[in-house]
Structure 1
Amino acid sequence: MVDHSPGRPAETDAIALLDDVPLSTAEAGYVEAARAANTLRGYRSDWAEFTAWCTHSPTGDGAPLPAAPATITGYLTNLATAGAKVGTMSRRLSAIRFAHQLRNLPDPTANARVIAVWEGIRRTHGAPPEQAKPLMPPDLFDVLDACPTTKHWKDPDRPDEPDLSGARDRALLLVGFVAALRRSELAALTTADVTDHPNGLVLSLPRSKSNKHGEHAELAVLPRSGNPARCPVVALQHWTQLAGITDGPLLRGVTKANTATTRPLHPESINTLVQKAINRAGLDPTGYSAHSLRAGFVTYAHLRGANDRAIAHQTRHRSLATVGTYVRIHHAWTDNAATTLGL
């Protein structure tokens, strides 16, 4: 929620920068809901960084709100010369724009000076965004096999138990890969989102990156596999049965006592869990994240002969061109005329 506590300068929080009339609790909640939680956290961090820079700004009047065009261009130039990535600078501009919108102030990023400098920075320093490495078979199988199945205790009188964290991680990996889910979608899954089907399970996603307002339900399927060790349906059902989950969040934390909590996983913790699972398999986790599951699905499906439209049916991409950006170096050699030159 919005922090209106005394002693916290309003100008350090882009979300608190509304009218001079205090927000009600309900209004503040809706303001928070207007953006994804990760976006709001990023805005807060970026706005705090910008306001801190403004106190030492060598250009403009140094005021963050309203920000003078010269202040913003000086800030961008400083970031660019320091080696900041274009994506980082773009996000900072979004935070500045958002803060001004919340105070009904003109958008300073639309100023001609800012546009010109920003375009020059993009042309000079632009580069393809870093993408997560795809996690797919056979590496995915190794990662699954490395998930612990039995919990051993130091107390010799306590019998071994099924390892809940291992069961949860197998479900997370297989569901994330086969359903091509984003980390936020994995974290938001509840038992109410899962429907049985003769061919497996259907996941209903009420919110997603491309369906922020929930105007239509998005569906992803989990088909049954002939190999139970590789089956997302078996993995998910095994986890929920062991954890005693009958309603509420589907993917949850596991305590040191080997019990499931009632709280859903945080999207950031899913990143950590994926990287730890990769490390357990003896692989270098560098470059991998929760998004590696979604990227792995797209890349592997292409290698298996699926077309972009079929892949987008599962990933729920609205643009087939976006699907193509996932097919990286692994697909560059497929059906490429350069391999037929005979030189």
Structure 2
Amino acid sequence: MVHPTRNRHHRALITPPDLGLVPDHALSPTPASWTVEAVRATFLRGGELVPPVQWTTIGMDDERYATAAAELAAASRAQSTRRTYGRLVEHWLVWAHTQDVCPLPADPDALHMYIVKRATGLDVRKELKRDSEGRLVGALVMGTISQILAAISRLHALANLPSPTDHPMIRTLVEGLGRTLTTAPLLAKAALTWDLLGEVLEAQQAPTSTTALRESVARALHGATGATAGQLARAQWTDITVDPDAITVILAPTRRGGPVQRHQVGLDTGAAQLLTRWRRHTLTWPGTAVLRNETGKALTRQGLHLILTRHDAPTAVIPTVEASHVRDRAVLLVGWVSALRRSNLSALTWDQMTRTSTGWVAYLARSKTDQEGHGDTVSIAPAPPGSRLADAVAALDDWLELLTAMWGHDPRRSTGVPVFTRIDRNGHLELRDGRPTRLSGAAIGAIVTKWVAAAGLDQRTHLTSGGHRTADGRSAFGAHSLRSGFVTTGLAMGVPGSTIIGQTKHTTVAALKPYNKPAVRPDLLAATAVLGAVANDATGPGQPAHPPATRSARRAPRGPHWGVVPGAEQPGTDQGS
């Protein structure tokens, strides 16, 4: 039997005469064992796991037919699925090559070894990792193992071969992994609730760098209180208190023996908002000075004098709003209010948007839960009348007006113009064939990450479905944080789940559970409620309502008695015994 082989002089090629199309869509003649190069050449194209090109060899004299047939065959799986499977199959091929085992069909023994090594981390480290109780600690979550097995099973199905994942040995291994590995995603994103989104939107109205923000706070305090450079250098956070209507700032005397100065800054002023944001930004820094650096060292009087005088110079320039900021604000608010996935946000086009008296209505031709393209609509609601909430409809209106001015055309009059477009570093639209280019899903995630970092949210600990976030070098927020933030906020406000799924387009209320990531966990609320009930029912401070009946001690208690002073004679005891 002739099948692709490898040598040092050429790359293996698979031609239609070797592997042609037969009526049952199998590869014939089928190699007894596939080489790594043969698998790559047949099933991997552009990093995706796709059906072999031999399935579309009928009518090869018509290149258009072959191209269309190949795309339609590949579309049997979503592109994200094809990419994920392609990446996992490539990892399997590399391991099979290094271990000198056949990648296709995969031997159950070889696959068993591969899964064990990947699950326990033995593919990257030499020793097994165990917890304090001696149990194995996995390097992957169970979801990743399931994806690996699904990718290898799909590879065998495309080759018309039985899947080794159905072998009893592999099934037993999977059951053991299910009882060992965690199922919660280790890198799950936190929910960007409405309160946190408000902080992110504030960050767009203020400087984004630490130095610029610190200088703005110094100038704002100088303008609101008349504080000198010396007073600002000595200001401590203990001198600042937040009252219901204002922030009270106590300044040191300007001269020896002089009076202490007390000023009140309204909560709705720019100075109070900057000061609040600066407080959140420096919460984890050492030191107590208001104006200090990351090491806790307070700014000097001379340095603050330069900041204040530079601000008062007549050459000071008032910053202008950048086009990317207008777009980013629309992305954040529309993404949150619509609760759309980032793929749907990226795919929105202006000809599919309808402006109504109550906001915007977006038409979704396809979505993750509508792969067959039945179509659906999603509403983008405005802020309630009279409220001070940020308005997603107004933000989208502003972006439409700016985009029309920048492009010179109303995008709603053209077909396929994306709602959210790319803007280069010079503030110009990125055009392709004279049309604005689409903002990708990854770029939407980068926008969320950028403004979350500008607001200082990454410096705090946030809860996710996998537990507390840790400082692992990754952002705790992403594009999915907008969608999960909508769900979390809605459930926290008492909105019924049946109402929320009308916006998120889930089929059941139970599907909202992974999206609900409240800042206060339900178990904490339950424990607090129980302790509160005990405290209210207690007969005295710190005393239980029904103390246990006393009984004579059968033996002396072990350990120290913290209520007894060593060496002191106690009543009722015989010191001579």
Q: Which residue of 1 aligns with 2:112?
A: 73
Select between 29-38 and 174-183 the one with higher mean Cα deviation.
29-38
Q: Which residue of 2 aligns with 1:197?
A: 356
Distance 1:254 1:7, change over 3 A: farther
1:289 and 2:496 matched: no
1:170 and 2:329 matched: yes
Q: Which residue of 1 aligns with 2:164?
A: 108
On the 8 A contact 1:76/1:118 being kept in 2, the answer is: no
Q: Which residue of 2 aligns with 1:251?
A: 420
- Aligned positions of 1:1-343 closer than 5 A: 9-12=37-40, 13=44, 15-16=49-50, 18=52, 20=54, 24-57=66-99, 62-82=101-121, 83-130=139-186, 131-147=188-204, 162-214=321-373, 216-225=374-383, 226=385, 230-244=390-404, 245-246=411-412, 247=414, 248-261=417-430, 262-284=436-458, 286-330=475-519, 332-333=521-522, 338-341=527-530, 342-343=533-534
TM-fit CA distance, 1:324: 2.5
Higher helix residue share: 1
The residue type paired with residue 175 of structure 2 is: E
Q: What are the Cα deviations for residues 59-113 of structure 1, in whole angstroms up to 9, with x where unaligned?
A: xx72111212222221111111101222222222222122222222222222222
TM-fit CA distance, 1:196: 2.3
The residue type paired with residue 482 of structure 2 is: L
The residue type paired with residue 240 of structure 1 is: L
Distance 1:240 1:37, change over 3 A: farther
On the 8 A contact 2:191/2:517 being kept in 1, the answer is: no
Question: 1:201 aligns to what SS in structure 2?
Answer: strand
Q: Could you list the runs of 5+ residues in structure 2 that have no partner in the other structure? A: 1-10, 14-36, 58-65, 122-138, 208-314, 405-410, 431-435, 459-473, 535-577
TM-fit CA distance, 1:335: 11
Q: What are the Cα deviations for residues 256-310 of structure 1, in whole angstroms up to 9, with x where unaligned?
A: 2212222212212221111001111222173111110001000001112101100
TM-fit CA distance, 1:160: 7.3
Instruction: Give the Cα separation in 1 of the matches to 2:349 and 2:335.
Output: 14
On the 8 A contact 1:97/1:109 being kept in 2, the answer is: yes
Cα RMSD of the aligned pairs, angstroms, is 2.8
Pick 1 or 2: higher relative contact order, CA cutoff 8 A, min separation 6. Answer: 1
Question: 1:260 aligns to what SS in structure 2?
Answer: coil
On the 8 A contact 2:484/2:517 being kept in 1, the answer is: no
Distance 1:275 1:53, change over 3 A: same
Q: Which residue of 2 aligns with 1:3?
A: none
TM-score, normalised to structure 1, is 0.86
Distance 1:19 1:255, change over 3 A: closer
Distance 1:122 1:207, change over 3 A: same
On the 8 A contact 1:205/1:217 being kept in 2, the answer is: yes
Distance 1:291 1:16, change over 3 A: closer
TM-fit CA distance, 1:52: 0.5
The residue type paired with residue 315 of structure 1 is: T
Distance 1:114 1:143, change over 3 A: same
Q: Which residue of 2 aligns with 1:153?
A: none
Instruction: Give the Cα separation in 2 of the matches to 1:143 and 1:252.
Output: 21
On the 8 A contact 2:50/2:74 being kept in 1, the answer is: no
Distance 1:34 1:306, change over 3 A: same
Q: Which has the larger radius of gyration?
A: 2
Instruction: Give the Cα separation in 1 of the matches to 2:206 and 2:67.
Output: 45
On the 8 A contact 2:50/2:82 being kept in 1, the answer is: no
Q: What are the Cα deviations for residues 6-65 of structure 1, in whole angstroms up to 9, with x where unaligned?
A: 7784523263552645652112222343333322222221111010011233xxx72111
Instruction: Give the Cα separation in 2 of the matches to 1:228 and 1:171.
Output: 17
Instruction: Give the Cα separation in 2 of the matches to 1:11 and 1:250.
Output: 40
Instruction: Give the Cα separation in 2 of the matches to 1:316 and 1:240.
Output: 26
On the 8 A contact 2:190/2:476 being kept in 1, the answer is: yes
On the 8 A contact 1:174/1:232 being kept in 2, the answer is: yes
Q: What are the Cα deviations for residues 143-177 of structure 1, in whole angstroms up to 9, with x where unaligned?
A: 11222699xxxxx9xx9764111111111111111
Question: 2:379 aligns to what SS in structure 1?
Answer: strand
Select between 162-171 and 12-21 the one with higher mean Cα deviation.
12-21
On the 8 A contact 1:183/1:267 being kept in 2, the answer is: yes
Question: 2:346 aligns to what SS in structure 1?
Answer: helix
Q: What are the Cα deviations for residues 212-244 of structure 1, in whole angstroms up to 9, with x where unaligned?
A: 121x22222111114587111111121122122
Distance 1:335 1:104, change over 3 A: same
Select between 42-51 and 243-252 the one with higher mean Cα deviation.
243-252
Number of aligned residues: 328
The residue type paired with residue 283 of structure 1 is: L
